[in-house]
Structure formats: structure tokens, C-alpha cells
Amino acid sequence: MAKTKEPESDVRAQPQPPPPFVGQHAVVEYFHRLGPHDLAPAYLFHGQRGVGKRTFAAILAMTLHCERPTSFPLGYCGTCGPCRRAIAGSSGDTILISEEFIREADRLAGKSVDRKTDVMGIETSRRIIQLMQLHSYEGGRLICIVPDFDFVTNDAVYNALLKELEEPNPGRLFLLTAQRPDRVLPTIRSRTTCLRFDALAESDIARQLSAHYNVPAERARTLARRAQGSLGDALADLAGEGVDLRGSARAWALNCVREPRKMSQAPALSKESAREDIVEVLHAARLALRDALSLALAGDDQVLDRAARSEYERTVAALGPDAAPRLVNALQAVNEAARIADETNIPPANVIGWLQVQLRSV
Ligand SMILES: [Zn+2]
């Protein structure tokens, strides 16, 4: 095979290997005992977002392809050919179903590419099947990583992949991830080995932020507390992602309960990602109401988002002696809104409208 030509003037930073994997001891131990030669044909990793499902899948794939692994399942060497290609994002034997992959599959199928979607359609599953029929490039097994499999709602996609999973092949491995395994069709679920990824310990998140993202210890602890078990959320928080949306969601939720007679500006959901945005809005609203409730019940110590403390104080003061039960009602309304958003196809903006009415009448 011809050696890959290096780019002419590569002034970009070298791609970095993923930081050491954190937590999920039960899953790591499970694979350690199993070893690399007795893997099932397909796994479904499930658990809340940001707890390492996709990262683990990527590292497992790297370790399986590594020429000199030091341990299993997390011991890829980082320097051999397959490792370097995986780190550079150009592994020939691992197929990651990313937005780019989905767009490319659409393009190859001659489908209009301006359709804005990050959820795989039948074109994607056909492309997966096509690629998984090929021979391994490095001589190991072909691995297909499909993140967020619970977002797939198209029966045709399920049926196409079902055929693949029905014929286990030692040369192929499927790694699916999902936040909600109950959303994955039972026929698919029953053909995979389901493994649960737990919420991460605050101390693990804080340590990871300090050790690998240069976050000062105190700030790392604050971010870890706020992230409620999700390293992904802590990193998004650190990067300032969604700060505006979360901030406006917090102000809106508190305003609704504090000044019900005033019409508060509801947070604006973007057209393309309204379903993701409403998850953020409800998450931020829940955190704010939870913090205000903690302040009312237990005082300052239990407040997670200390930057917003004065907003909580104003809210608790305005609600008066009934602050705690009213905030509990508000939290229940947010949970109910989350359930409606999750389980129905009611447009997110209407769910927000419904919640606004509830919050103003607690
Ligand atoms: Zn290696």
C-alpha cells in the first residue's frame, strides 16, 4: 500500500488522542473480563448524555485495531499505524455515523444535500451495509459506531440494519449508543448486548477537568456540581455553549413564578434544532427552580449555580412563606413539560407555551 502523502505545509496542531477515559468501572470491567476475542456482534451502550458512551465506543474500536495494545478495552498504544489513523480521524476500519457521514451518504444516493438533518435515513443505513460488506482495510474487524440510535424513527432504517444484526459475523462489530434504550425497537435491542453507563461521580468530572482541560480546581468543582453527572455537559458549560439559551430559560422560568401577571419573554427555540433546544431550556429551568427551592429550604449552601444567586433570592422573597411548595409545583410542571416534549410530537414551542401558563399559576 502506498504511504499516505503528508499535507504540504501542515501548520495545524496535531490531532490529539482522546483524554484518558473516566468512570464507568462496571462497563470497563465487563469488557476486561470478556477480552477482545469473545465480543458479541452488537452492543447498545445506554445512559444519560455526556457520560462517555461514544468516547468508550471510539476507544474500544481503537484498542481492537491497535497493533500493540497494552490492555483491554482501553489500552491502545497511540503510536502504531492504525492508532495514528484513528486519532487523525481517518481509520479505514471504523465507520462513525456522524453528520458528515449522513450528508455524504445522502449525496452518494443522489439526494438533495441541503436537507438539514443529523438523523440517519435509509441512505445512511444502505451506505453502512455497503461499507460493512467490504474487507477490513487494516486486517482486523470492521466496526460501525452509531451514536444516538434512539433518535432514529424510520422503520426502513431499522429493517435494513436488522438484517445486518441477524447475521452475526466475527469480522464485524456494531456499537450503538442511546440515551433512551426504550426508544430503540425491541427487535433491535434483543439482538444487541445492552450495557448501562451510569452518571459520573462529581469527583471524577472535576478531576478530569483539572487534569486534562487545565481548569483550576475550584472552578472544576463548580462545573462538576452543575453538570449533574455528565462530563459532556461540564465541557459544554466550560466552552460557554448554549449560555444565552440557558440564561434566558432561567430568567424566564423564575420570572414566570415570581411575576405571574407580567408576560415574560419565552426563550427562543431555533427552527432547525427546536427539539434539542427545548431539552436545554427545560434542563436550565429545572436547575433554576431546583436552586431556588434549595435556597428556600436549606439556605445558600445547596445552590449549584452561584452566579444566579441574587435571582434566586429575589424569587424566594417574592413568593413569600409559600415559596417552597410553589417551587415544588413549578418543578412538577417542568417535569411534566419534559415528558410531553419527550413522548409526543407536540411542537416544542407549544410545550413552552403550556409550561408558561403552568408556571404563572403556581
Ligand atoms: Zn496502537
Residue 86 sits in a domain of what CATH number?
Answer: 3.40.50.300
Residues 165 and 233 in one domain: no
Domain boundary, last residue among 182, 212, 240: 240
Domain boundary, last residue among 218, 240, 262: 240
Residues 306 and 325 in one domain: yes
Alpha carbon of 84 to ligand 1 centroid (Å): 7
Residue 3: the pLDDT is 42
* CA-only gyration radius of the chain, Å: 23
Which residue from 141, 226, 223 is spatially nearest to 175, judged by alpha carbons?
A: 141
Residues 210 and 294 in one domain: no
Residues 76 and 190 in one domain: yes
Is residue 273 in a domain? yes
Residue 7: the pLDDT is 42
Alpha carbon of 205 to ligand 1 centroid (Å): 27
pLDDT tens, residue by residue, 103-149: 888 888 887 765 556 678 888 888 998 888 887 777 778 999 999 89
Task: Quote the DSSP letter at residue 94.
Answer: E
Residues 116 and 192 in one domain: yes
For the chain, the domain total comes to 3
- As given in the structure block, the three cell numbers for residue 307 are 452566579
Of 60 and 247, more confident = 60
Alpha carbon of 85 to ligand 1 centroid (Å): 10
Quick check: 1 pLDDT over 50? no
Residues 105 and 55 in one domain: yes
Average pLDDT of every residue of the chain: 87
Report how far residue 152's alpha carbon sits from residue 173's, in angstroms, rounded to the nearest whole number.
19
Alpha carbon of 70 to ligand 1 centroid (Å): 9
Alpha carbon of 62 to ligand 1 centroid (Å): 7
Alpha carbon of 4 to ligand 1 centroid (Å): 17
**CA dist 72 to 40, 86, 115, 243, Å?**
15, 17, 41, 38
**In contact, 173 and 141? CB cutoff 8 Å:** yes
Alpha carbon of 78 to ligand 1 centroid (Å): 5
pLDDT tens, residue by residue, 178-191: 998 988 888 889 99
Alpha carbon of 75 to ligand 1 centroid (Å): 8
pLDDT tens, residue by residue, 2-22: 444 444 444 445 677 778 899
* Residue 219, domain extent: 201-240
Is residue 10 in a domain? no
- Show the DSSP H helices in the chain as ranges: 25-34, 53-65, 81-87, 99-108, 122-132, 155-166, 186-189, 202-213, 217-227, 231-238, 243-258, 274-298, 309-319, 323-343, 348-359
Residues 188 and 262 in one domain: no
Residues 163 and 177 in one domain: yes
pLDDT tens, residue by residue, 156-178: 888 888 888 877 788 899 999 99
Residue 24: the pLDDT is 96
Residues 56 and 179 in one domain: yes
**In contact, 312 and 303? CB cutoff 8 Å:** yes
Span 300-325, mean pLDDT? Answer: 87
Residues 350 and 281 in one domain: yes
Residue 5: the pLDDT is 41
Residue listed under C-alpha cell 435556597? 295
Residues 221 and 263 in one domain: no
Alpha carbon of 160 to ligand 1 centroid (Å): 33
**In contact, 44 and 149? CB cutoff 8 Å:** yes
Is residue 12 in a domain? no
Alpha carbon of 82 to ligand 1 centroid (Å): 6
Q: CA triplet 178, 183, 184: central angle to 5 degrees?
A: 70
